């Protein structure tokens, strides 16, 4: 690796950013240890992407262009999508984040696409599919005389294939499945994710048509058509189907909705095909075999204070120019996973320049997110980026030529002459925003203060730097107050914070859903592709609230909507497959007057066994002892002594021992412990271990069973104890989902979850 020129700056990164880079982005040796520094990564990427200029001008000053690209990234003004940071200048060289693959109605096509999906996931990309061309369940298969199993059954095959592909510990496979609302299997599709243990690697969205939306408005019926024959096979009440979509989204956040006809109205190359799907987070509509290269400008870096805060449009414009050239270069140096993808990507040369740090920009400008001035600023900034981006694309077209499919595009007759069929996209920036140390995408703040998990169960407070600055300037900062705020998702009820500060530092759950949609629409008006954003609802939100947001999104010109009701995934995990809430333990009748129970003394001599159980917090050693009267004590040891996990498991075992010597039935103790969940579940010998308490309960149960004294211990409801998604799902406690890798509270935004502490992310 060459050294960094002395006049270039070293990146100034937060501790969280360094953690994320070391875990997921920097080159590693065979032992998994990082072997490059962040500046080396940025310089590697800058030089590799700048080298594309030599294809058009052998005398190009690649070094100067690399310096420009490096400064843009090292100063955190702009960052490309994760695969570019990870792979540029390395052997893999796959730099695209998103792809859409076709699925035709044949076994050959289905399994060829599964193969292609595996190659893309292995290279760090995400995939979108439309399953709308597959014949419905029960339809005839003439070649075999059998009947079709339908789109949802094949989605499960794709899901299993994704589960099997590991991406080197850097990015997890994610998929988008879209089914047209007029497909005969649409009801099965809408309800497919009621069971949280299936399709864990998919986001799903219903493709709504203009015909369907008119039928919803008119309370009319609409046709379901067999895609194999084109014939109408059934008619349904549109509002009833719409209500089912709303009901499922209220329960779990899925399915989302995508307005298919609206996507195709903005399709720049309709002669090349119809847009049927998007990438996993919904912001990038693509033709079959298309890929897109994304990048985001950090708006928080473009507020100048001289003396009043205002947007530095001059510097922003210069960064847009450089970012468009950077992303166009990526298309040329990219190594695509399939020749069909390379042909489409280089034929249309789509790029997606977006933003992050918008909420931080508003804070610096003193504008509450849910205000008319904030909406005005959103439109003003994105209009500027879009127009400047098109100008930059036109300038590159004058140098290098328009995109090869230009004559087949809608620009051929109306202009402008562009290098790129699309220029702007508002994409998720989960881990990128952590590297940049700013808010994600165009989302509001998720929390003002959160608890970050560090080594050995210890934790520390992370305070939003702008809030900390204001709190210290205004004189109300204290560790005690920050600790109090860390237990809230909102400042609304924190009276120690002045009202005007509370009004400015609003979070996702302070903001009425209508404002979320209005902000999405403000950005969508000036964006070529689509906008990734999540509409957050409080737990007590109703289905009618979600219905109103969906209709408002349609009215305001959005291309799709993702919603999430606080705690809704938790509700789903705690319900049975039939949708009936899982049974909870009922308290036994309390006698009018109960006698005090005194535990018998600990015996001098005991006998028992010790068992090692693998938990998410490490190996837990459970010792179970008994005497002549039966079980009398439980001891546990985990990791190093003194940590939070160790102290909690010790406290649990002491209380169990006390209960045993007080005559409590061991089976009753087992029932209370099994099913308790923590943020980091694990597998042990084929059994899911939900927590240390769950591990202790199962160890006692095995001890009783092995000694023939199980006592008929009752099994906890299966939906509560065994159906929790593990390894690739989001585990939540209360209404605060926690990272399965480090335990820090996860942010739910842009159709994804992300941990701002360690960089864990998941978009399905």
pLDDT in tens, 423-470: 999 999 989 999 999 999 999 999 999 887 665 556 788 899 999 999
Q: What is the pLDDT of residue 737?
A: 62
Residue from 184, 129, 124, 182 nearest 155 by CA: 129
Q: Report residue 744: phi and psi, to 5°.
A: -75, 150
For residues 725-735, average pLDDT: 37
* pLDDT (tens digit per residue) in 176-212: 999 999 999 999 999 999 887 889 899 999 999 999 9
* Residue 59, both tokens: 């005398």
421 pLDDT band, cuts 50/70/90, is very high
Q: What is the pLDDT of residue 754?
A: 82
Is residue 281 part of the annotated active site? The answer reads yes
Gap between the Cα atoms of 237 and 550, Å rounded? 18
Burial letters 52-87, b for 16+ CB under 10 A, else e: bbeeeeeeeebeebbbebbbbbbbbbbbbbbbbbbb
Spatial CB neighbours of 598, under 8 Å, sequence gap ≥ 6: 662
Q: Which helix (H) or strand (E) holds 514?
A: helix 513-524
730 pLDDT band, cuts 50/70/90, is very low
- Out of 37, 40, 283, 611, the active site residue is 283
Range of weakest confidence among 117-121, 358-362, 376-380: 117-121
CATH code of the domain occupying 15-95+279-433 = 3.20.70.20
Gap between the Cα atoms of 505 and 528, Å rounded? 30
Contact 696, 636 (CB under 8 A): yes
* pLDDT (tens digit per residue) in 636-650: 988 644 466 777 888
Query: Mean of the per-residue pLDDT values for the chain?
Result: 87
- Out of 87, 159, 267, 279, the active site residue is 279
Percentage, residues of the chain above pLDDT 70: 88
Burial letters 514-527, b for 16+ CB under 10 A, else e: ebbbbbbbbbbbbb
Is residue 279 part of the annotated active site? The answer reads yes
For residues 288-298, average pLDDT: 96
Residue from 509, 522, 534 nearest 372 by CA: 522
* Residue 499, both tokens: 């009202």
- Out of 98, 248, 281, 558, the active site residue is 281
* Residue 75, both tokens: 């100063």
Q: What is the pLDDT of residue 736?
A: 54
Q: Angle at which helices 238-252 and 543-556 pack, to 10 degrees?
A: 110
Distance spanning both ends of the chain, measured CA to CA: 36
Burial class for 339, CB neighbours closer than 10 Å (0-12, 13-18, 19+): exposed
* pLDDT (tens digit per residue) in 514-573: 999 999 999 999 999 999 999 999 889 999 999 999 999 999 999 999 999 988 865 333
Spatial CB neighbours of 107, under 8 Å, sequence gap ≥ 6: none
């Amino acid at each position: 690796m060459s050294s960094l020129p002395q006049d270039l700056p070293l990146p100034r990164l937060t501790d969280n950013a360094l953690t994320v880079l070391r875990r997921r982005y920097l080159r590693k040796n065979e032992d998994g240890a990082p072997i490059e520094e962040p500046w080396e990564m940025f310089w590697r990427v800058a030089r590799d992407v700048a080298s594309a200029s030599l294809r058009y001008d052998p005398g190009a000053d690649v070094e100067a262009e690399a310096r420009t690209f490096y400064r843009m990234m090292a100063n955190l003004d702009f960052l490309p999508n994760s695969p570019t940071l990870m792979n540029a200048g390395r052997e893999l060289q796959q730099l695209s984040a998103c792809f859409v693959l076709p699925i035709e109605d044949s076994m050959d096509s289905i399994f060829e696409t599964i193969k292609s999906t595996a190659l893309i996931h292995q290279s760090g990309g995400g995939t979108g599919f439309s399953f709308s061309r597959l014949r419905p369940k029960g339809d005839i298969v003439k070649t075999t005389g059998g009947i079709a199993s339908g789109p949802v059954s094949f989605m499960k095959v794709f899901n299993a294939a994704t589960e099997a592909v590991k991406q080197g510990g850097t990015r997890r496979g994610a998929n988008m499945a879209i089914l047209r609302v007029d497909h005969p299997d649409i009801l099965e599709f809408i309800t497919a994710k009621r069971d949280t243990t299936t399709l864990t690697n998919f986001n799903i969205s219903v493709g709504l048509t203009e015909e369907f939306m008119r039928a919803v408005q008119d309370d009319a019926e609409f046709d379901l058509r067999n895609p194999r024959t084109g014939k109408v096979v059934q008619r349904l009440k549109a509002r009833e189907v719409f209500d089912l979509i709303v009901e499922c989204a209220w329960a779990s956040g899925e399915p989302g909705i995508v307005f298919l006809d609206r996507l195709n109205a903005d399709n720049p190359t309709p002669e090349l095909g119809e847009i049927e799907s998007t990438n996993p987070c919904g912001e990038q509509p693509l033709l079959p075999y298309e890929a897109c290269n994304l990048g985001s400008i950090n708006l928080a870096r473009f507020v100048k204070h001289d003396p009043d805060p205002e947007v530095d449009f001059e510097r922003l414009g210069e960064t847009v120019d450089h970012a468009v050239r950077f992303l166009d270069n990526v298309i040329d140096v990219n190594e695509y996973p399939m020749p069909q993808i390379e042909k489409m990507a280089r034929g249309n040369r789509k790029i997606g320049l977006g933003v992050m740090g918008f909420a931080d920009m508003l804070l610096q400008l003193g504008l509450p997110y849910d205000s008319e001035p904030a909406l005005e600023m959103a439109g003003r900034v994105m209009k500027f980026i879009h127009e400047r981006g098109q100008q930059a694309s036109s300038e590159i077209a004058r140098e290098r030529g328009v995109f090869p499919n230009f004559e087949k595009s809608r620009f051929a007759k109306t202009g402008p002459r562009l290098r790129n069929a699309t220029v702007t996209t508002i994409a998720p920036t989960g881990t990128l925003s952590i590297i940049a140390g700013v808010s994600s995408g165009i989302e509001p703040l998720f929390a003002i203060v959160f608890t970050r998990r560090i080594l050995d169960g210890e934790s520390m407070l992370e305070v939003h730097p702008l809030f900390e600055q204001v709190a210290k300037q205004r004189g109300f900062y204290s560790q005690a107050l920050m600790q109090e705020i860390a237990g809230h998702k909102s400042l609304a009820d924190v009276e120690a914070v002045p009202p005007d500060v509370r009004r400015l530092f609003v979070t996702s759950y302070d903001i009425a859903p209508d404002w979320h949609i209005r902000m999405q629409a403000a950005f969508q008006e000036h964006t070529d592709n689509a906008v990734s954003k999540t509409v957050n609802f409080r737990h007590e939100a109703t289905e009618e609230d979600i219905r109103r947001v969906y209709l408002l999104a349609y009215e305001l010109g959005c291309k799709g909507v993702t919603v999430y009701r606080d705690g809704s995934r938790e509700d789903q995990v705690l319900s049975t497959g039939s949708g009936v809430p899982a049974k909870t333990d009922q308290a036994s009748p309390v006698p009018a007057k109960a006698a005090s129970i005194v535990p018998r003394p600990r015996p001098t001599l005991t006998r028992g066994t010790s068992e090692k159980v693998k938990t998410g917090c490490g190996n837990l050693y459970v010792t179970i002892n008994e005497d002549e009267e039966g079980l009398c004590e439980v001891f546990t040891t985990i990791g190093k002594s003194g940590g939070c996990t160790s102290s909690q498991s010790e406290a649990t075992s002491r209380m169990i021992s006390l209960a045993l010597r007080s005559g409590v039935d061991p089976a009753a103790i087992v029932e209370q412990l099994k099913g308790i969940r923590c943020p980091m579940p694990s597998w042990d010998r084929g059994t899911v271990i939900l927590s240390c308490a769950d591990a202790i309960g199962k160890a006692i149960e095995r001890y009783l069973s092995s000694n023939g004294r199980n006592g008929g211990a009752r099994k906890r409801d299966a939906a509560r104890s065994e159906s929790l998604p593990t390894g690739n799902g989001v585990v939540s406690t209360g209404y605060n989902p926690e990272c399965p890798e480090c335990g820090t509270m996860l942010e739910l935004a842009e159709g994804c979850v992300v941990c701002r502490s360690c960089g864990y992310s998941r978009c399905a």
